[in-house]
Every structure is written in structure tokens, then in C-alpha cells.
Amino acid sequence: MPLFSGFLYIPPMPNEESFARLPGFRDFPPQELAFRQHIFDAWRRVSRRYGFLEYDGPPLEGLELYTAKSGDEIVGQLYNFQDKGDREVALRPEMTPSLARILADRSRSLPKPIRWFSVPQLFRYERQQRGRLREHFQWNVDVVGEADVSADAEVLAVALDGLRELGLDEMDFRARVSDRRLLRAVLEEAGVPSGEMESAFQVVDKVERESDERTLERLGELGLKPTAARKVLELLQAPGLERVQEHYGDRDAVGPVLEDLHRYLEDLAALGLEENVEVDIRIVRGLAYYTGIVFELFDRKGELRAICGGGRYDRLLELVGGESLPAVGFGMGDVVLGELLRDRGLSPHFRREVDLFIVAIGDDLRPLARRVAAAERARGRSVVYGLRSQSVRKQFSQAGAEGARRTLVLGPEEVSRGVAVLRDMQDGEEREVALESFFPDRREGL
């Protein structure tokens, strides 16, 4: 209710509602941020272990970077608007078009293959549901400039190692791999016109989430006769390689792809990853630019949405005006992965920690506490002291709350002797230390 005080109008206090967080966005108080950082640290360690360099780009891009290349699904989810200079812009919904744009200007001068990774925050105006938010962080790992399937295998190995680094194992996740060219050949044979191929891929992408009737209906809408639609559906219901090999192995468009896939699987086996990987031709990926091998990672129990998705996109760089370079990579989001880690009890125990808390007995010693703090901070230690005059008991309880490993007690009697008492907060052991040892002209610290 607005209040009136004389002639002065006092506007109502904003209630919680008016400052509510936008739906699909997250806050990261320290504990949540520590969890996020734990994930990022693992991603960065693994990227470096495989020789990848970190890059980044702007969170806002020209709208047209996405409209032509990412496909309808992403375009329908864009956070886009017109800026004050009348430019059509969008918050980045994924990193791959930015990577292609960044490399378009630079790739010619870079040694190949280019191994780059990034951990951007991305924005998609999605219908909010479990595992899907309107912002997420995504680990992007891409190899640009190598067409051989060994690059595809290397990239999948990075993704799987990223999960292992966080404590997950083969019992927790699996990779489902396919090759878009196989599905294209099968769908072409079934009578899907080339102009409808992207729409047909979308139908396959959703086959696990829709009823058989609905899938048949949608295939029919794309021009497939009922018998052909049923044959495609049957193939999708037994999605391993055997069926494709048996029914389509002798087709020109299929033989070489099967060979590539076999080599890919051999490379993965040599990397010790065969237990994690299964071929599943239903994996097509929602994005339009993929051209070859594609994959998605899922939790083994099948309870969650995809943890990660990626594949080969050999034409995107050229499409955004760069050199024609083959490329392969993946994006792994922090949302589904975070759920899986929590579910498996793998979120790290959050502990607040400082090296030293300084307790001053009496206000006269507070300036000395600050001098000691400054000297110790200059040595790189984390130091906290009470910001206001407080009883010794309260200062010790604050030291506990701050997670201090040690406290330094400045008492008048000790200070008059040129010492202070250092207490180890774990075992309670105490010893006297000379005050002059804290100051920079002396080398040794605590």
C-alpha cells in the first residue's frame, strides 16, 4: 500500500515478487559457485591434458550468425532484440557459430589442427523443465582442421574423461554415437525428398520422446508412404549397426560411412573407451550444421536429458565466410551434469577456509591486528579479523565460523613481551611467536 505523509508521497516498498529472479536463471551464492567452479576446474584440467587452448568471445552476437546456420530449433529459442544502434542482436545460444566466426579471420595463420576449448555462459529461451534452463554454462571442445576420424575419437575421449575427472564411471554414463550420413542414406532410400531431410532428422531426434503413431504420422507428412515410414520406424527401434549393415550395407552412400564408423570405434577401443560407447542411429542432434559422426552422452539410468552433445561439422567455417576446414567438437552443459553429480553424491563438501584469524584482546591492540594482517596478506596468506570491537569469546566464535586454520591472539601481557599466541584450531595446540617475525623486513612468516 502506498503511504501518504502530509504532501509527501512515499512509494510502496518493493516486495519480493517485484525483484524475483527471472525464470530459468540461477543465482550462485558461494556454495553453488564453489560447485560450479569444481566442475569448471575439472573441465579445464582435462582440456589441457589433451593439449587444448582456452578462448572466449562476446556473449552478444549479430542475429544472422544463428539464423542461417544453427537450424530452426535454436532460432526459435533465441534471446534476441534490436540494440540502440538498430542492430539485430542475440545473446549467444551456443558457442559453435562464434568459434566459426572467430576462426574465419584467424585460421589461415594458425597451425592445424586447431585445438581450442571454452566455457561460455549461453542463453536459450526454452520452456523450462528438468535439466533445461534459460542460461547454462557449456564446456566446448573443438578440433578444427582435421578430417580423419581419429579427431572424432579424440574429442569423444575428452568428453568422457571430463566425466571421469569428476568421479563418474562407466556405471554412470554412456555415449551413443552415430553418423548423420547413414541416416540420410536410409531416409533417402525411404523416399524423403532432399528438401525435407532436415525436418526428417528432427522427427528422428524426437523419436524416443514421441509415440510410434505420432512418428509415423510425421514421416507421412514428409512424403513417406506408410510402408516406407514403418520400415524406417522399425530400423529406429533396433538402432545398432547390424540392421543398417544388413539392409543398406551395399549402398554406395553407406559402405564408406560404415568403414569410417568402424575405424572410429577401433580408435575408441584403443583409447580404452569401448565399454562406454554404443552405436545408435537415432542420434542425429538438433542442430543443422552437423555433417558426419555425431554423439550424445547420457546417464546410464536414462533418467536425465543429454549431458553432452557433439559431432562433425565440416562446412560451418566456410558458411560463416572462413577457410573451408573440417571440424569436430562437443558441448557439455553444467545443468544435467550437476544433477547427475549430486545424484551420485559427488558434489564436493563446501568448506569456508582462511589461514589466520587475528583476535585482539582490547581495542588498543586492534591497530596491531591490522598491521599483522597486512603483513601476512602481503605474504599471500588469507587473514581475517573482527571488523568491530568484540569480546574475545565472540572473536573466537567468528574465527570458527570463518573456518580459520589458526588464530593469532594479541594479548596486552604477551604483546608487552614482544610475542603473540598462535593457536592451531584443529588440535588446539598453542605456541608463542615473536611479533617481529610478521614484518616484511624479516623473511620468515608464521
CA distance 314 to 290: 7
Site string for ligand HAM, 89-118 (x = CB under 6 A): -----xxx----------------------
Which residues in the 141-160 window bind ligand HAM by CB under 6 A? 142
Q: Does 216 bind ligand HAM (CB under 6 A)?
A: no
Site string for ligand HAM, 371-410 (x = CB under 6 A): ----------------------------------------
Three-state secondary structure string covering 82-146 = ECCCCCEEEECCCCHHHHHHHHHHHHHHCCCCEEEEECCEEECCCCCECCECCEEEEEEEEEECC
Three-state secondary structure string covering 358-402 = EEECCHHHHHHHHHHHHHHHHCCCCEEECCCCCCHHHHHHHHHHC
Q: Which uninterrupted H or E stretch holds 72? A: helix 72-75
Closest contact distance (angstroms) between CB of 297 and ligand HAM is 7
Task: Please identify, using beta-carbon distances, which residue of 126 and 402 lies nearer to ligand HAM.
Answer: 126
Choices 88-96, 112-120, 146-154, 397-405 (CB under 6 A): range interacting with ligand HAM: 88-96
Size of the site for ligand HAM (CB under 6 A): 24
Closest contact distance (angstroms) between CB of 409 and ligand HAM is 49
168 and 340 Cβ atoms separated by less than 8 Å: yes
In terms of DSSP bridges, do strands 404-410 and 354-360 run parallel, antiparallel, or are they unpaired? parallel
Q: Residue 278: helix, strand or coil by DSSP?
A: strand
Q: Does 308 bind ligand HAM (CB under 6 A)?
A: yes
185 and 254 Cβ atoms separated by less than 8 Å: yes
Which residues in the 328-347 window bind ligand HAM by CB under 6 A? 329-333, 335-336
Residue 311 gets the label, from left (phi > 0), alpha (psi -120 to 50) or beta, of left
360 and 386 Cβ atoms separated by less than 8 Å: yes
Closest contact distance (angstroms) between CB of 166 and ligand HAM is 14
Closest contact distance (angstroms) between CB of 188 and ligand HAM is 24
What are the two backbone dihedrals, phi and then psi, of residue 140, each rounded to the nearest 5 degrees?
-110, 125
Q: Does 126 bind ligand HAM (CB under 6 A)?
A: yes
Q: Does 120 bind ligand HAM (CB under 6 A)?
A: no
Closest contact distance (angstroms) between CB of 103 and ligand HAM is 12
Which residues in the 275-304 window bind ligand HAM by CB under 6 A? 287
Q: Site for ligand HAM (CB under 6 A): which residue of 307, 320, 372, 410?
A: 307
117 and 140 Cβ atoms separated by less than 8 Å: yes
Residues that bind ligand HAM (CB under 6 A): 94-96, 124, 126, 132-133, 136, 138, 140, 142, 287, 306-310, 329-333, 335-336
